[in-house]
Amino acid sequence: IYKDENVEKEDETLKICGVTQTTWESDESIKKVSQLTNTPEQDRYLQIKKYMEFFVVVDNRMYRHYQSDIPAIQRRVYEMVNTLNMIYRPLNFYIALIGLEIWSNRDKIHIEPDPDITLKSFGEWRENVLLPRKRNDYAQLLTRIQFKETISGLTYRGSICSPIASVAVILDYDNKTSLVASIMAHELGHTLGIGHDRGSCNCTAGPCVMSPEINDEPVYEFSSCSVKEHQMYLLRERPQCILNKPMSTDIITPIVCGNFFVDVGEECDCGSPQDCQSACCDAATCKLKHEKGAECRAAKDDCDLPE
């Protein structure tokens, strides 16, 4: 359970989430499915890189909490998204922040301590107001309101790509971005079909992202249970919105070499030095190792055209 250092009562703790649907897959069903062999087509689908066009909204309470300092709030959100990408890289996901809206004047929906009502209002706002003017796959509302029942986040289970339900509300409860990013990652996991970890699930170091009770330390790793459940969800639902790669010009986070997008001033971008599989691209500099036109690798067959 997340501890909230700002709560007056020492014994009051933050629940990690209050997902609206809690019929998770059982350990036995996950074990049975994990023992099945995927078809080549299923393996190809799982191996395709997935992209999340992510939109973040900061409410008026959070804006005022940080002294109406918009650049500071922007840096805070950018740090959170960087943490999300570090967490989701093993799942073959890239989180592309394509929009950040700060409600500096007033909130555009009714935000109240009941997280269910706030989540419903935010989903309706996304469907009716945000999507017509800005395409996105998923949106989160960051707020400083204290939700009832000490809930720190709320979302819908397995709802990615839904116009009204691909949303979450997140309590920005701590000044440490890594702790709030852990909640963001946990709620996104639910949206991607992942339930809470059970007793048989564990991680190599520290608590897992989808643990139902997490101490006041950031989380960075998914358990093997979460990975299997996520794959089961992808193969069952085949969500389409996460397959299209966003334009690099749509991404609003500062240019970074190693994000798989060829940004202005870069010749190539094959990811981090650990992830890069290109013989032509220098992962450290995002510059080509050879002149343009040079052959990086031999053709696999007649249909394998020069890149």
Amino acid identity of 301?
A: D
Helices (H), 48-204: 60-65, 70-88, 115-125, 131-133, 177-191
Write out the catalytic residue numbers: 187
Rounded Cα gap, residues 129 and 119, in angstroms: 15
290 is in an annotated binding site: no
Give the chain's largest Cα–Cα span. Answer: 69
- Give me Rg for the CA atoms of the chain: 20
110 is in an annotated binding site: no
Q: Are the C-beta atoms of 283 and 272 separated by less than 8 Å? A: yes
Q: Are the C-beta atoms of 144 and 10 separated by less than 8 Å? A: no
Among residues 239, 235, 238, 185, the alpha carbon closest in space to that of 30 is found at 235
User: Which residues fall in the annotated binding site for Zn(2+)?
Assistant: 186, 190, 196
